[in-house]
Amino acid sequence: MRRSAMRVTCIGLVATLTACGDSTGPAPAPTGSGTIHATTATNGTQLDDNGYLLSVDAASGQAIGINAAVDVGAVPAGRHRVQLLDVAPTCGVSSANPVTVSVVNAATAVAAFTVICGVPGTLTVTTTTQGLNPFPRTYKIAIDSVDRGTIGPNASIKVSDLALGLHSVRLTVPTGCTFDFFNPKTVSTKPVTLRPAEDANVSFSVICL
């Protein structure tokens, strides 16, 4: 009788411990507030003397100088989108813009922006294709998610109407072609930064079977 009682007690204890350690409820939302410390660093010529605007979570921006720092206080804890706005046409943000920062209670999160100014160079996009003939006639090209028409399988095009700063170039090829034989895909996106008076190049190698 004593052994049975002890066994029931042990089973009950194991069940209780399992239940206590089995909590899978949602994680609590972050609480409190902190500060976002934003900085700008600007280089080049034809600088934007009026400065920029700093926006947090798409709110109306507050002024920030071209080489300056601003603290945004009382920001609720959690993830926030910080963006640099009102950048002159002769300038571009060469770092990520916007950026996402995580604010922790009573702490400071940093959002750093790098800006370059001057006369932008030209972007050249080049394709080379290997594999079976006949190659597809054209591939689709987009810059910053904007359609830029087509490019041949072994060709180059020049783009001269882009602002300074960071851009993304996307090439889309038809079924039967890929950028990596071992990891087939028909879309490839590459980053490129346009700097003052410097030409930039992006190359894509395509395999068609």
Q: What is the CATH number of the domain that holds 104?
A: 2.60.40.10
Residues 160, 128 within the same domain: yes
> Cα-flanking dihedrals φ and ψ of residue 112, to 5°?
-110, 130
Residues 75, 151 within the same domain: no
pLDDT value of position 92: 92
Residue labelled with tokens 């904007």: 146
pLDDT value of position 24: 62
Q: Give the CA distances from residue 171 to residues 51, 58, 164, in Å, rounded to whole numbers and listed in that order.
A: 35, 30, 21
Residues 50, 108 within the same domain: yes
pLDDT value of position 25: 64
Residue 159 sits in a domain whose CATH number is 2.60.40.1120
Residues 68, 144 within the same domain: no
Residues 133, 203 within the same domain: yes
Residues 37, 78 within the same domain: yes
pLDDT value of position 129: 95
What 8-state DSSP symbol labels residue 115? E
Rounded to two decimals, what is the model's pTM? 0.71
pLDDT value of position 181: 78
Domain hosting residue 174, numbered range: 123-208
Last residue of a domain, one of 71, 94, 117: 117
Mean pLDDT by 10 residues, the chain (209 residues): 44 43 67 97 91 96 97 97 94 95 97 94 94 86 96 95 92 93 89 90 94
